[in-house]
Structure 1
């Protein structure tokens, strides 16, 4: 008898069929199958809802790859969308990346970047294992360097507020006297 295993990733994909194309026989081999732990499930759910709310009639979107790299979530996608929709999708992705950067990939609690023999992961203190916290320049906690416009070098710094799930643009330079 086959053992049925509950997989939150497949549940996520099935809950958002407009964003994922699932290989029926092997869902784990589908494009966009999230290669991350359950602690980022909330990050993924928020992102999927934001993208679905953004898509207009006739527009298409499909995740190609979702993974953890350098301790944060990475998202690759393909689709046919308007320029306005593309900008809104990028905003949603920027929020998801920023949230992943301060959420433990294991449990979802507030976390930070740790290094364990060069392997970077965002974890809470309980799940950091033998890793060491990666130093952050004072005043730049939860600050991300993000792309403003798809396909361009138009970048900006933004501070992520986990409580309100928002990004606020900040200066790339520390306040006067903190250099």
Structure 2
């Protein structure tokens, strides 16, 4: 991850992602394309710690492994564990380089998650993040829900079960015209649509 985005995360969530040097960097060992997932993770864990007054969660190492995000941490309750499981599980659907929709690919025994444009591109190479709105955790001026909001709502819907949440996000949904919910996460209008769908499911409306 480039230094600018690394510092952005440590400044927003200094307890969740503590800086490990005077430079203010946490040292994320992954590409900048997963910034939006780590931003949502920090937001949800910080909310949880503020609400539950629980022992501070601390991320010790965050890296790419076998093409997906891995978070090594201490402390945290069942909700925090579920959030991390969901984020790790969804990371294999977003290009590690730019954050667009991607898939896990194998190249000479190495696994990586890339979109079509960045096949063969190293995560260490700086690439402009295209196709996504500016990084943010809260609502936009148009009151668009954040990725954190949509993930939290899905966890609530499925009783905190990360396996069910990942399965729902990655399966094609008839109510979305055959689109998988994960395909809408990067877009404000898509996230609003997902929240409406989750509300309908909660009230037994499946159209």
Mark yes or no: TM-score above 0.5. yes
How many angstroms apart in 2 are the aligned matches of 1:23 and 1:91? 25
Backbone CA RMSD of aligned residues: 2.6
Match of 1:115 among 102, 106, 119: 106
Match of 2:12 among 12, 15, 30: 15
Cα offset, 1:58, TM superposition: 4.6
| Structure 1 residues 156 and 127: CA distance shift in structure 2, 3 A | same
1:97 alignment partner in structure 2: 88
Cα offset, 1:100, TM superposition: 0.7
Greater share of strand: 1
Mark the runs of 5 or more structure 2 residues left unpaired by the alignment.
Answer: 122-161, 170-180, 186-190, 195-207
| Structure 1 residues 129 and 88: CA distance shift in structure 2, 3 A | same
Asked whether the 8 Å contact 2:9–2:17 carries over to 1, the reply is: no
Instruction: Give secondary structure in 2 for the equivalent of 1:76.
Output: strand
2:148 alignment partner in structure 1: none
1:50 alignment partner in structure 2: 44
Greater share of helix: 2
How many angstroms apart in 1 are the aligned matches of 2:86 and 2:107? 26
2:152 alignment partner in structure 1: none
| Structure with bigger gyration radius | 1
Mark the runs of 5 or more structure 1 residues left unpaired by the alignment.
Answer: 131-154, 167-179
Large movers: runs of 4+ above 6 Å: none
